[in-house]
Structures are given as structure tokens and as C-alpha cells.
Structure 1
Amino acid sequence: MGKREEMIKAIKQLMTQPERIRNMGIAAHIDHGKTTLSDNLLAGAGMISEELAGKQLVLDFDEQEQARGITINAANVSMIHEYEGEKYLINLIDTPGHVDFGGDVTRAMRAIDGAIIVVDAVEGVMPQTETVLRQALREYVKPVLFINKVDRLIKELKLTPQQMQERFIKVITDVNRLIRRYAPPEFRSKWLVKVEDGSVAFGSAYYNWALSVPYMRKTGVSFKDIIDLTNAGDLKALRKKAPLHVVVLDMVVRHLPNPLQAQKYRIPHLWRGEIESDVGQAMLSCDPNGKMAMVVTKIIIDKHAGEVATGRVWSGTVKTGQEVHLITAKRKARIQQVGIYMGPERINMEAVPAGNIVAVTGLRDAMAGETVSEEQIEPFEALHYTSEPVVTVAIEAKNVKDLPRLIEALRQLAKEDPTLHVKIDEETGQHLLSGMGELHLEVKLVHLKEQWGVDVDVSEPIVVYRESITKTSPIIEGKSPNKHNRFYIVVEPMPDEIYQAIREGEIPEGKPKDPKAVAKKLAELGMDYDIARGIVDIYNGNMFLDNTKGIQYLNEVMDLLVDGFHQAMDEGPLAREPVMKVIVRLVDAKIHEDNVHRGPAQIYPAIRTAIHCAMMKANPVLYEPYQKVIINVPYEYMGSVSREMNQRRGQLIDMKQEGEVMIIISEAPVAEMFGFAGAIRGATSGRALWSTEHAGFKRVPNELAINIIRQIRQRKGLDPNPPTEKDICPQQ
């Protein structure tokens, strides 16, 4: 029996013992060494050869990723590790650290129970570290810490052991500060990372060594030994004395929970259904004999097998030929192949039980985030993405005969990556592709050409703006075209605290499953409880409330009103851009008794016009997306960087010096950031390292807003002049 067969046999045995499974991820700021760590863990576990590890980047198996040197897709691998004489199955999900791919991180967090947070010892905790840690804690994922690139402290910065210790303490303190801030209350102190208990390890992923206090106690290897070997350049001896995979995977087995432990506290927070039901109990106890339920976290297109859906099995067992429900898509499907991953290779299995990460084919209508189950159950909470699509390009097939292929390709891209929005512009017939940034879209367009062979013309990137209001409107009447139905509404600006709570996922989007709990939360954030009790729907950071009393037939038209509210929020009155931070309150209504006179054709225009008219009377304003820009640059280029940012309406937020390097953190409008990569390279002779992340929306200064509204309207084929109240509000 070859080594590979032995490996598969061992994995099959361990899959059925949940106490021996660890589902974990590795998350970090870009370039802090995450993929190198993953590869060397795989090498240590015998999945790839040691010489290649770190160069091979097994998890970066998309050709584009290797060319760019950043991880774009979260890949999944199963491997085996022996700890204190017992074997363990470790399912590792690699996630991207580049902000444009933040959606992948969010989805990967759903599948795992624990995460190694990697921090560069030289740079320390960076903004993206905070983002990934916050996402992990929000999904009830327990962290441990690996401080990487310690070799640079020894060789480049030539720090003394005392100075190094100070460095480590600072990183650990910063990480624990974030855990205290973002962890669920019951885990705030339990999940803090500590050097003494081995929930912190430090080392060099590139040179393949690591240390932790338990390992030092067990083997007698000291930090001084490591410094001496590093200075002597004896890398082989280093790897032998303190092998990275042993130290790090020991930490994983010791400190990260198994599925039996994790599902007890994760399921009640991730799943909306009745915990006392059979399937609820089966998920709590990770029961392989219960009804099957899983969540799809990623869809990839395999040249041979078609669509492969990867996901976490919460209860029951996934089997070949199983009939399943796709809860959100409201479709049925039949599972064809069932398997697991070993690196980029998918190994077929007959069945995969609860507590594992599975790869299946046959779920043609599933998207990432889909709940798949044997019977109809409540879906899992919608996944929260930390960024939202803010840049759009219009694309057309160069060759008309490629159009069907382009449509199919876009459909697949949107399925693989729900943070990508695809829309057809009814007026121009162009396909609009919206993503989280320039790089995100660039990667997807290369994908189109290379995987699908479709040549496209791409417009200049366009920024997605938002519309909002700054005042409360008077009561506005909206009449249906037949004059038989009247709705009276008020719009008001949403307080920042409430908007933040929605963005952070503390208040879930959609129709609240527990309106009382949501009302209570809104009251805590300052809303009048009697008003908050009317909560009907939350949509893209806007809110619809029913504050009427005893209106006949209102229940019959409520779904139509919510649809009309969605339509009004999708396209605001100023420039038909999406709306944010608006509260719409229905305060009175008169509704025709005969349902023939109160169908969609009557209700939609009534509510939509009323909302838009009210917004025009509430001082409508335009918001634009901002990016946080983090630039590492040698001291002498400081001036060039500042000038470059000033030209782009950038605001300096923070500046700190680390050795010879300055770290400059600023914020700038996304609209001003196109072409930044080339410009900053030129300004710093290619010496700048930089990354960006979404920094929310800020109001556009009035003197710029008029022109921007004109440009957007012109692009959409509308009258370029910004509308007035008269244009939007029907004459009474």
C-alpha cells in the first residue's frame, strides 16, 4: 500500500471520530506569511515534499494566484497529525488576506471552528489582522496566535532577546485587546491567547521552524539555541530542532475545539431554527445519524466535474445519490459525487459524516452560503461580508456569438463569489459587474478570458455611490394609480449606532425572526421602543417600520409594501443609486377592501413614489465609498507618498516608524484611487508596499455632489439635471 493510500485510509477512519477532528483556518494581513505557513504544515504532514514547500504554494493552485503571489480562493485540505500518540484529522482552509477577497474569508469562517491568526513580528497587528479576527470572533471561531518572520528580528533588525520579548508582548497585547473587544461576551476572557499555555507560538514559516512554551518544556530547546542557529545560518538543524508543523499543529490540537465541542455554542448563533427540534438537536450534538444538514461555503468550477460545492456538514451524513433541499434557492437537487480535498486533489468517498468539510457535485443551483438539507429546515444566518461592492465595470462580448457563453460565465462567477454582483443594464444591454475593488474585478476578468475563453470590452471602472438623507420628512401621502389606496409615510435618517449594528450583523438584515428582540436592541441604541416595535424589514442598511394602528387589509398588502420599499431603496431619487441609512415609517393607510384593486400594479408605485418624494423633502445627499490605504515605504519617500495621497483627496490618519520603514495610514475616496498602483510605484521607485480595505461611506462635499450626480444620470441615459421636489412628488 503506497503512502497516499495509507493517508486516505487513515482519513476515512478519523472522519467518523469527531473528537479527533479539527476544522481550522489560517487568517492574516496580506503578506504576513499565511500561505507559506499552510504549505509547510502540509509538507510536515507528508502531503507535499519539504523542498518544494513555501515555493510550491500548494494552496495557491489557481495560476493567477501564483503569478500575483497572493491567495485569491480559500482552498481546503485534509491532513493527519500525531499528538501524544494519537492521530488527528486536521481540515485546513486557507483564506486570502487581500481585502478585495474579504468575501472568501467570511465564507471560510463559517466552515471552521478555530483559526490561527498570523502576525508578522516586524509589522505587528495591521488593519487587516483586525478585520479577519473580528470576522472569526463574529462567527464564534476560536483564535490562537502565530507570530511569524521572527528570523527578521534576529537577522535584519538584530534585536536582543530582551527587545524581542518586548516585541512579542506588544503583539500579544494588541491581539488580546481585539479579542476582548470583539469576542462573544461568554468567551472574552476564556479565549485570550497566552504564551504560558501554548496558545501562542512564534517562528518563521519561510525557514520552517517554530517554538512554543510547551514545546520548549518538552524538548529543552531554548530561544538562545534558535538565535545561535539562525545567526550561524544552519537552517537544517533549525528545522530539526524546532519543526514548524509539530509546534503549530500541536497548538491546534491542544487549543482549538473539535466539532462536538464547537457546535454546542456555534449552532445557536449561526442557525435561526428551533434548537429543540430533531435537526436542531442533531446539529448541537454533531450527530452523524441525524437528518443531514450542511452549509455551502464555496463553489468552484472544476474542468472535469463541473461545479464542486465545498461546505461544512453540521449533522447527518452526506451520501452519493441523496435527495436534498436547497433552502434559499427553493429547489431540490440530487448529490452526485461526495469527496474531500487533499490539497488541490479531490478524493471521492461514499459518505462524509457530520463534523467534516465535504466537497460535492450535483448542487447546480446552490450559491455560497446556501443551506442544504434532507428536509425543509430554517436557513442558516445570512453570511456577513465586511465590504460591499463599490466598483462597477460594464462589459460586452467583443464577438456577438460569445454572448451566451459570457452570460453563463457571469452566472458561474456570481455563484462562486457572492460578493460579486452581476446585473444587466436594461437601457444599454451591457452587463454590469460590481466588485470590492479594482483588483477583485481585474482577477475576475482574467478568469473570464482564461477559463471561459470569452474576449470582452471593459468600460472604465465606475464607482457605486449611495443616496441618503439628513433630515426627517413631513408626512407624505402616496396614492395608488387607481386612487383607491393611500399610504402615509415619514422618512428619517438612521442613527450611526443603529447602522453600525446592522453592518456588524448584531441586528440581522431581512424580516426579523424575533421582532421583540430586535425592537429591544433598537431601543438600547436609542430608538423609541414603541416605534421600534413596528419593525417589518431591514434591507441593505435601511429599515421599514409599520407604526399604524388597526388598519384593515394591511396584512394582505404588507409583502407588496416591503417589495416596494426594496425597489425604492435599490434606486434612490437623485441618481438611481442604492440608498443607505434611511428609516421608512408607515404611519397611516387607507386600503381598498377588494383585492382586485390592491395588486402589485397599484401598491408598488404608491409606496415607491411616497418614499422618494419624502426623501426629496428630507435634504437628500450623496455618499461615496472610501478606502483605507496602508502604505509601507522607506523614510526618504515620505514626501512623495504624502503628495500622491493629497492629490487623491486623501486624509492622513496615522503614521508610525518601524526601523527604516514608515507606515502611513490614510483614507481616500475610491473614485480617486483608480490607477493608484502604477502611480505609487512610480513615486517611490517601486519601494512601496501597500494594501487597501473598505472604509465605509462618507458624504460627498456639496460642491462636488452636483457634478457627480450629473455624470451618473448622463451615464444612465437620464436627464443630466438633478431632479427637484417637483419632478419627484406628484402634484396633489
Structure 2
Amino acid sequence: MVNQERMREAMCQARNVRNMAVIAHVDHGKTTLTDALLARAGVISLEQAGDKCATHTRKDEQAKGITIKSTAVSMLFERIGSTPGERPVEGEGRPLVVHLIDSPGHVDFSSEVTAALRIADGAMVVVDCIEGVCVQTETVLRQALAERIRPVLMVNKMDRAVFEIQLTPEEMYRALVRIVENVNVILATYGGEDGVMGDIMLDPAKGNVAFGSGLHGWGFNLDQFARMYADRFKVKAEKLRRRLWGDHFYSATDRKWRKTPAEGFTRGFNLFVVEPLVKMLRACKDSDMEKVLKLTSGVNVTLSTEERDLAGKGLMRCVMKKWLPAADAMLDMIGEHLPSPEVAQQYRTDMLYEGPLDDSAAVAMKKCDPNGPLMIFVSKMVPAADKGRFWAIGRVFSGTVATGMKVRIMGPDYKPGSQTDLFVRPIQGTKIMVGASNYSAGEVPCGNIVGLGGVDKYLLKTGTITTYEHAHNLRVLKFSVSPVVRVAVDVVNPAHLPKLVEGLKRLGKADPMVQCIMDGGQHVVMGAGELHLSVCLQDLEEEHAGVPIKKSEPVVTYQETVSAASDRICLAKTPNKLCRLYMTARPLPDGLPDMIEKGTVKATQDVKERGRLLVDQFDFNLGDTKKIWCFGPNGSGPNMLVDTSKAVNYLQDIRDSVVAGFQWATAEGVLSESTVRGVRFNIEDAMVHGDSSHRGGSQIIPATRRALYAAMLTAGPRILEPVYLVEVACPSQALGGAINLISRKRGEIIMQTQQEGTPMCVVMAYMPVNESFGFNEQLRGETGGQAFPQFHFDHWQTLAGDPLDATSRAGVVVAEIRQRKGLAEKIPALENYLDRI
């Protein structure tokens, strides 16, 4: 088991700490690979590795065989080698602390990946060597690069290439090159031009790519093979490693290398890596004991008497684990190629910290200073053994946290200098997390991941914890998916209603993405997709509320927008008729709402920097960029309020009230009280009364809302529906059935490719979320269970038809939403909001 005292000592040396997430497409083998590291650290036995899936801590994870929640595991490795890049001197040891987070691969749970990446510095990207780089691989990589996370690559399921598809060595090399190149294309595309992380390109010759089979517990990088052959060739391992990848060909007869293929010359990777590997695998699988013993003696592997009695897969696993343990290959990459907190925080701080970069908190974060002010980001909550309580999982960026320490707990709505969303309380416990269990840590210095007790009372999902009075928040998480599917829930027995309300609060804490709201008198749970919602509702019923519940059919969330500029300037008077506001609306340019949601354009940005971006990319008027009052809803939504008026007296005095009215109107639009997206509202003019008693919030806020509603109704209002990007993988013979079903579901096919070297085809299509319910079952029926779909929320698109026309598709959708929310049947007429002079 874990040596707890040794672990605490090692955690004090930040350069020996690695915080990493394991990220990949669904079912590419993250959890089985994690098992190998857990076995090496002594958390589970070596025999269990690959089968146990130790980070599957929930019953439904074990039943479904997929990861649903990200799980943090802290491990200590007594690592051979004193400094990075040097091979070990016998007897020298440098402990390595790895805080690993095993994250889900299913797109419905990608919010868990976002939460995991925030508190990591590096990521091990796992790719199935047969399926290659898939949609979700690209999504999680993009998320990692947005958080400035340095990647390494693990190509998994190599045994499939040998036994299932039976590739030749050259075909295998080509397949592996294609995977590395595809990942590098993504890194080059989304890696940013700032280059703050240095060279992040992957190359097996550098040692930041490994290959293996998590299920069978073996893996290697080129370092291991280079060291194996270095003595035989009397050449440095470093030099040989570079020749084991790429166009380097060797002739055993001439004992010469050359860079172009020729007769008698074989590619170095094929000759020295693939061929010995395949020989060993086939000999073990065929239980050819004579051949196995000959090969094992050549690589210094000895088998005990019991091990020699094994046959087939059992023998193969035993031999391969002894010869090329997967944990060694991964530890080499993690230790040498992933950054320590000392290195990573130098380039991550300016992206994470919202305050000035020269204040005490930012300086301590950059230096990873254990004696500086405490700065912790809590990225998610994990249910504790006490029912209803949670451990807050966070990363200590500076300072040292200890049990009993009094701290400032700042929620996402905290503003420096205010008391909003701020609590000053002591930390009730500090824990080191090891999957489903944990143990007390006492003190945890910066650079480490920690579980905090007692914080869950004051934070909903995420937040910042500090001891520095003038600290700003660490940036809130931006998710790559949206909660676009909703279900209304109610109790079977009315007496259980308080338990449902409490259960919904706990569910909101336990999941980074789920939203639990009251809508039209109903309790509504909103999730990223069908699977995400079903898991959340199961948790609500069985764990958080603990009472039977009724669920409605899943319903899609729609949003509102406009399609043109307002055809007139809209006037709204305050209730006392003493102030007037003149507004117009128009659509934001394509691409800008996405940039606002991603945080590329935001309220806290430098005005000049934001102005340059809006002028260069979206043809904004430079003067208008200086008078953007706010974004909304919630201060960061994809709508904009701009003051385009000239010389209006007292306008700045009512600014806060106008902004409040704007936030209200964009949170609940005019058509169906749905969120507004992609609209720019202009304040064209105003008449503000000189006496402050006549221009309070009770006068200005409702007038602002009415003016904004009128502006939307005069600007071609439209409904937006969410659209999935669907990836369907199926054999060629089942392709017709899959395409027919996608077409019937209003899908738009954008790409169709044949995977090289396999009988599998991949179809990519856009499909409205509304059409996706039951798609999996129907696809199984159409293709005889041979097709596998993967959904990923991609974008919002305008729903056909004018919502003001009750007979159009959009009009029908609006009517359904209004009925569900208990609103009046018809959309209120423009005259209800537009005043006459």
C-alpha cells in the first residue's frame, strides 16, 4: 500500500510532482492503462491490472464498462534516475508523485474532462491503433490546449494490429505514423501561436510517444528498445533512438544504415521493434514454449516454474508484462515530457488568474511558492462517505493548505472588494485522493491536487480559495458541451417533495455540467445528452434524493435570436413616463457569439485589445467597441449591449439599471422566455430625468426590458435549435442503412470516409438534437447492431420558419414551449412593448 509519510515528503518537492489527466475517445483504453500505473504504485496487485478497472468507482461504470465521472488518484513512484533526461545510476532514486485523473471519453461527460484538465498540467492522450484519431480525441485535445496542457501520446491496443487485423510490419508502421501525424495536425491547429509551452509536437524519436496494450499490461517507447540494442551496437542509446523511427533503413549483412529504402535494407522500426515484438506475441499465443524460452533468454526475462505452465493469452500477458511493463513506458513519458508545477505555472498563470499579474497572488502562482498566499482552484465536488456531503477536489497553485486554516472561499460571482459570494471559514480536512478512498494529508503544499472538507457548504460546483484579501478569482470553467436536453422531474409521493428539492441541490453539486432549475412551476434537470441525463436522474433517484421520482420525456432547449437589423428605433417609457429609452437590435456577426462563449472576447478584456479584434475580424466601428456596456446573460453570454447614443445627460447614472434590464431580457427572451443568443442591442438615444428619485431601478429596469423586447420583435425574431455532430462508424455493408436513417432524421451528411486498412467506414453528419432521441436503438435495428454512433454538440442553427407565424415549424415549437412553461398561448404583440411619443 501507499507509504503515506513518504508521499507527504515527496509532495513538498514541486519539481518531482506531475499533475496529469488521461484523455481519449470513448473505449480507447484509458482506464486499463491507468490500472498498470496503479499496480506499479502498489495501489492494486499486478495480477488485477487491466481487468480491475480500479478507477471505475461507481456501480454503473462497472456495469456499462465506461468511465462516467473523472477519478483522481495520487501515486508515489520510487523512480530510478536523479535528473530528467539522465538514465539511472544504481542506487540513486528520485521519488515521483503523480496526481492522475482518469477522465471519461463519452462526449456527454466531457464537462468532467474540462474539470480534470483545469487542475492538471499535462495530459496523456490515448488512441486506439485501429480506430485512430476520432471526433472526441480532437475535442478533448482542443480542451487541453485551451487550458495550456502539454500532451504526450499513448497508442493503445497494439495487440489488435497483430492478431485481429494482422498487419505487416510496414503496414503497422504506416498506421502508427498516420496516428502521430493526425494528432500533430490537431496540436498545430489549436496549439496557439504564442508558443508559451514550447515545442509540443509529438515524435516517438523524442520519447513523448509510447505504444502498448493496456488490457495485457505491456507497453514500450523507443527509449527502451534503444537501450536494449545500445550495447550490442556499441553506440549511444540517444543516437540509436533517432534511427528507430522515420526513414532509417538497416542492412544486417552490411551492418550499415541509410536514409532511403534499398534491397537488403529494412526500416529500423520494423526490424528492431515490430519484428521482435510480433515474434514474442505469436510464440506466446501459440504456446510454443521452446521458442518462448529462447526469446525470453535473449531479452533477460526469466520465467518461474508456475509461469512456464501457462498457455495462450495467460502466457502472453505474463511474458509481455515482464519484458515490457506498460507502467515503465508511461512513467518515462510522464517524468521526462510532462511539466512539473514549477514549469507549468509560469505559462499557465496569466491564462488562469483574472486579476493583475503583478499582485502577490499571481507572483506566488508563477513561482509555485509554498510560502506565498494560498491560491486553490476547486474544479469539482466528489460525494463523501457522509450522505449529502462532498469533498472539494482542487489544485493548490500557491501557498500551503492545512486543516483548520481560515480561508476566503470565493464563488464564481465574487467581485474583488465586495462581499457577494464570499465566505471566510476554516478548512475542515485535507485529503489525498486515491480513487474511491482517501487518507488524511495534514498539510499540502502548492503544486499538488487535494481534497478539501467543509468547503461544499459554500461552493456550488467550482470556486477559488485563498488567504490573500485582494485576490481575484481564477477563471471559471468553459465547457465544450451545453446542457441542451431537459427533463421535468417530480415525486411520486407529494410528501417526498422536500427530499427531491434537497436531492436536486446535491445533484447540482455532484456534476460540473448539470443544471437544476425551476421552470414554469416544474423542477427541471438539464444535461448534455440522453446518456448524461439518464445517469443524472439515476443518481438523483438512488443517491441524492433517495425517493421514487417521475420523469417527463426529454425535451430540447431552444434559444432565441434575430435575423436582421430592427426596422425602426423602438421607444419604451418608464412607468412614471419621465424617462425614455430608444433601442435597436441586430444579429452579431457569424463566429462572434462562439468567441464570446469561449472567452476570446469578454467583458474583463483590455478595451483596446478587444477593440482591435472586433474591428479587424468583424468590421466593428472603433468608437462602438469603446462603448460596449456588457455581455449577457450572466455577464458573459453571447449578446452585447452597446451605447451608440450621443451626448445624453445622466445616462451613466442609469447604466447599472439598464444593464440589469438587459441581463433579464437576454435570460428570458420575448418569444418563449428562452435564452437569447447572438444579438447586439444598441442604445440609440435616451431621455433621463434630472432628479435621481425619478430614475431608480424600479423605473429603468422594466423600461429597458420592454425596449429590448420591442427591438427583437422588429428585427426578424428567430428560434435557434442545437445541432449535434454525429460520427457513425460501421462496416461498408451496413453503410446504406446508416445513411438512410440519418437522412430521415433531418441529418446533413458532411463527410464519408473509408478507414485505411480496415473494412470500417465513417460517416460524419449534422443532426438536430431534437431528432437524436432513440437514434441508437433505431441505428442498431437498421444495421443489425454493426454501427456505432458518437454524438457531439457542435453548433446552434436557425430553425426554419417565422416564429410569429403559428403555422410554421418555428411557430409550432414556440407554442409548445409556451404551453410547457404555462405562458399565454400567443406571443405578445409588438404594441405591448412599443410606446408612442
> Normalising by the residue count of structure 1, what TM-score does the alignment of the two structures yield?
0.96
SS in 2 for 1:333: strand
Deviations 1:300-359 (CA, angstroms, capped at 9, x unpaired) = 221238211000001111111111112223222221011111222111011111100010
8 A contact 2:515–2:526 mirrored in 1: yes
8 A contact 1:367–1:418 mirrored in 2: no
Alignment correspondent of 2:154: 146
SS in 2 for 1:625: strand
Match runs of 1:555-704 below 5 Å: 555-658=652-755, 659-702=758-801, 703-704=808-809
8 A contact 1:199–1:251 mirrored in 2: yes
In the alignment, is residue 38 of structure 1 matched against residue 34 of structure 2? yes
Alignment correspondent of 1:397: 491
Match runs of 1:247-326 below 5 Å: 247-304=329-386, 306-326=389-409
Alignment correspondent of 1:184: 192
Decide which moves more: 316-325 or 672-681. Answer: 672-681
Partner of residue 204 from structure 2, selected from 195, 210, 213: 195
8 A contact 1:155–1:230 mirrored in 2: no
In the alignment, is residue 172 of structure 1 matched against residue 154 of structure 2? no
Partner of residue 811 from structure 2, selected from 706, 715, 720: 706
Distance 1:477 1:418, change over 3 A: farther
Alignment correspondent of 2:597: 503
Alignment correspondent of 2:513: 419
Q: What one-letter code is carried by the residue in structure 2 that aligns with 1:95?
A: S
Decide which moves more: 537-546 or 163-172. Answer: 537-546
Alignment correspondent of 1:358: 450
SS in 1 for 2:591: helix
Alignment correspondent of 2:279: 228
Distance 1:550 1:418, change over 3 A: farther
Q: What one-letter code is carried by the residue in structure 1 that aligns with 2:550?
A: D
Gaps in structure 2 of 5+ consecutive residues: 82-92, 230-271, 286-315, 412-420, 802-807
Decide which moves more: 104-113 or 45-54. Answer: 45-54
8 A contact 1:631–1:664 mirrored in 2: yes
CA distance in 2, matches of 1:538, 1:226: 58
SS in 1 for 2:778: helix
Decide which moves more: 37-46 or 575-584. Answer: 37-46
CA distance in 1, matches of 2:48, 2:690: 74
Deviations 1:250-308 (CA, angstroms, capped at 9, x unpaired) = 10110010000010110011111122112221111111111111000110221238211
Match runs of 1:123-142 below 5 Å: 123-142=131-150
Q: What one-letter code is carried by the residue in structure 2 that aligns with 1:12?
A: R
Partner of residue 823 from structure 2, selected from 679, 701, 718: 718
SS in 1 for 2:601: coil
- Give the percent of matched residue pairs that are identical in Structure 1 and Structure 2: 35
Decide which moves more: 173-182 or 473-482. Answer: 473-482
Alignment correspondent of 1:66: 62
Deviations 1:419-475 (CA, angstroms, capped at 9, x unpaired) = 2111112x4x21011111111111011001211312111111111011111111132
Partner of residue 432 from structure 1, selected from 504, 520, 524: 524
- Name segments (4+ residues, structure 1) moved above 4 Å: none
CA RMSD in angstroms, aligned pairs only: 1.7
SS in 2 for 1:386: coil
CA distance in 2, matches of 1:83, 1:667: 50
Partner of residue 583 from structure 2, selected from 474, 489, 492: 489
CA distance in 2, matches of 1:537, 1:230: 63
CA distance in 2, matches of 1:194, 1:125: 16
Decide which moves more: 180-189 or 473-482. Answer: 180-189
CA distance in 2, matches of 1:437, 1:542: 25
Tell me how far 1:724 sits from its aligned partner: 4.2
Alignment correspondent of 2:224: 215
Tell me how far 1:657 sits from its aligned partner: 2.1
Alignment correspondent of 2:310: none
CA distance in 2, matches of 1:418, 1:92: 19
CA distance in 2, matches of 1:507, 1:206: 44
Q: What one-letter code is carried by the residue in structure 2 that aligns with 1:71?
A: T
CA distance in 2, matches of 1:454, 1:562: 42
Deviations 1:102-133 (CA, angstroms, capped at 9, x unpaired) = 11111111100000111111111111111101
Query: What is the number of equivalent residue pairs in this alignment?
Result: 724
8 A contact 2:115–2:512 mirrored in 1: no
Gaps in structure 1 of 5+ consecutive residues: none
Deviations 1:174-202 (CA, angstroms, capped at 9, x unpaired) = 11111111113233861111111111111
Tell me how far 1:634 sits from its aligned partner: 2.3
Deviations 1:134-189 (CA, angstroms, capped at 9, x unpaired) = 11011110111111111111111111111111111111111111111111323386
SS in 2 for 1:496: coil
Distance 1:323 1:9, change over 3 A: same
Q: What one-letter code is carried by the residue in structure 2 that aligns with 1:311?
A: G
Decide which moves more: 548-557 or 169-178. Answer: 548-557
Q: What one-letter code is carried by the residue in structure 2 that aligns with 1:666?
A: A
SS in 1 for 2:705: helix
8 A contact 1:394–1:458 mirrored in 2: yes
8 A contact 1:45–1:245 mirrored in 2: no
> Normalising by the residue count of structure 2, what TM-score does the alignment of the two structures yield?
0.84
SS in 2 for 1:180: helix
